[in-house]
């Protein structure tokens, strides 16, 4: 079995070759990022949902969005959930991406690969860049397994795009909701590809643990005075944390702001995987310290509502879903100036 910590020379040679052919085909001249199709990984069997970018003449790339979570991220972006240049887009993308960049965006490791392969690139949007995007993490270099799948995806994207050019309706199924997928068929030592139609994969939902009854008991014993309305949200902070030997990650923040005064009441920073088990415990400790609870929580995201609702209901606090949290969003913008990696650590 190949070492998947790093692509082999052969993996990289095939990947750069496929990227060059993809760029030469320039499928963004007739396809848009809304023309989504799937490619099934011959090894893992996972479907990557492919999105060809570049029709606007700004960012030329193939994004291969992984499974149900990746597809959900694309659909959220297409639904207009994020404003242009919203940094939070970075935190919902789960994909492998082959993009074509200016040289200034290419890192030392990329340049070393290009040199070893004897390749040359020159000019704007000419340099291939391959990255793994994972929610909560800094975009990172590909493993061998990822490089091999992205190579297949680039090759199949060329095939699909050339067919699409002749038949723009080929990705539309008579039964709404199905996706066109290129699926591998192994034949001896080679791989053939066939067309299939699949129902969209659904992302796994995050299961929040039931509220510890001792937390509700602590809330009742704390003698809290109820006053005011609090806006509550949680989100990634665009200040990566670097730890030796690990992929840099973005910390996850919970923020509580008084709806009337705009005062920041509390915030917490955790690694995303640590957030769920720690948040409610720290939240209740905060209540106990200040001896005040709100009359109501305002939230704008389903996940925050689902997380807070058991605690709110058990404590007699109203909770309301709203379209936006203008006071909290202003506080969030104001915090960017003083949150640094050093402070996070």
Same domain, 185 and 234: no
* pLDDT of the residue at 85: 63
The pLDDT of residue 207 = 65
Residue 234 belongs to some domain of the structure: yes
pTM of the predicted protein model: 0.86
Say how far apart CA 183 and CA 176 lie, in whole Å: 20
Residue 169 shares a structural domain with residue 35: yes
pLDDT at position 344: 39
57-81 confidence digits (pLDDT tens): 999 999 999 999 999 999 888 887 7
Distance CA 169, CA 176 (A): 13
Q: How many domains does the chain have?
A: 2
In-domain check, residue 4: no
Contact (CB, 8 A) for 127 and 106: yes
- Partnered with residue 106 across adjacent β-strands are none
Check whether residue 189 and residue 227 sit in a common domain.
no
Q: Are 26 and 85 within one domain?
A: yes
> Which DSSP string do the residues of 311-325 spell out, in sequence order?
HHHHTT-EEEE-S--
**CA distances from residue 162 to 84, 154, 191, 195, 323 in whole angstroms, order as listed:** 30, 12, 20, 14, 42
Most distant CA pair in the chain, distance: 73
For residue 104, what are the domain limits?
9-198
pLDDT of res. 342? 42
Tell which residue, 123, 128, 164, has the closest CA to residue 17.
Answer: 128
Residue 208 in any domain: the answer is no
**3 assigned to some structural domain:** no
The pLDDT profile of the chain, 345 residues, written as one tens digit per residue, is: 344 689 999 999 999 999 999 999 999 999 999 999 999 999 999 999 999 999 999 999 999 999 999 999 998 888 877 655 667 777 889 999 999 999 999 999 999 999 999 999 999 999 999 999 999 899 999 999 999 999 999 999 999 999 999 999 999 988 778 999 999 998 888 999 999 999 998 887 666 667 788 888 998 898 899 999 999 999 998 889 998 888 999 999 999 999 999 999 999 988 888 887 788 888 899 999 999 999 999 999 988 999 899 889 989 999 999 999 999 999 998 887 666 444 433
The pLDDT value recorded for residue 345 is 36
């Amino acid at each position: 079995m190949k070492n998947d910590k790093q692509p082999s020379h052969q993996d990289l040679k095939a990947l750069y070759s496929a990227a060059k052919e993809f760029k030469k085909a320039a499928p963004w001249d007739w396809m848009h990022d809304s023309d989504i199709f799937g490619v099934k990984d011959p090894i893992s069997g996972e479907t990557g949902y492919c999105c060809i970018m570049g029709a606007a003449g700004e960012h030329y790339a193939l994004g291969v969005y992984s499974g149900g979570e990746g597809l959900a991220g694309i659909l959220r972006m297409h639904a207009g959930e994020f404003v242009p240049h919203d940094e939070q887009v970075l935190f919902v993308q789960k994909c492998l991406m082959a993009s074509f960049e200016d040289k200034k965006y290419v890192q030392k490791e990329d340049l070393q690969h290009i040199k070893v392969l004897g390749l040359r690139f020159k000019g704007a949007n000419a340099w291939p860049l391959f990255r793994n995007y994972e929610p909560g993490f800094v975009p990172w270099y590909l493993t061998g397994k990822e490089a091999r799948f992205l190579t297949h995806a680039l090759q199949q994207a060329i095939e699909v795009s050339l067919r699409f050019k002749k038949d723009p309706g080929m990705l539309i199924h008579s039964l709404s909701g199905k996706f066109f997928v290129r699926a591998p068929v192994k034949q001896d030592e080679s791989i053939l590809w066939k067309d299939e139609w699949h129902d969209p994969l659904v992302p796994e939902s995050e299961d929040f643990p039931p509220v510890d009854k001792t937390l509700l008991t602590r809330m009742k014993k704390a003698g809290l005075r109820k006053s005011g309305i609090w806006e509550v949200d949680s989100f990634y902070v665009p200040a990566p944390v670097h730890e030796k030997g690990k992929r840099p990650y973005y910390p996850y923040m919970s923020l509580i702001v008084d709806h009337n005064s705009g005062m920041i009441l509390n915030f917490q920073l955790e690694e995303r995987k640590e957030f769920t088990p720690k948040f409610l415990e720290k939240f209740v400790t905060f209540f106990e310290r200040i001896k005040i609870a709100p009359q109501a929580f305002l939230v704008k995201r389903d996940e925050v509502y689902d997380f807070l609702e058991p605690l709110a209901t058990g404590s007699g606090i109203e909770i309301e879903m709203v379209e936006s949290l203008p006071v909290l969003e202003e506080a969030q913008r104001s915090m960017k100036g003083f949150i640094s990696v050093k402070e996070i650590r």
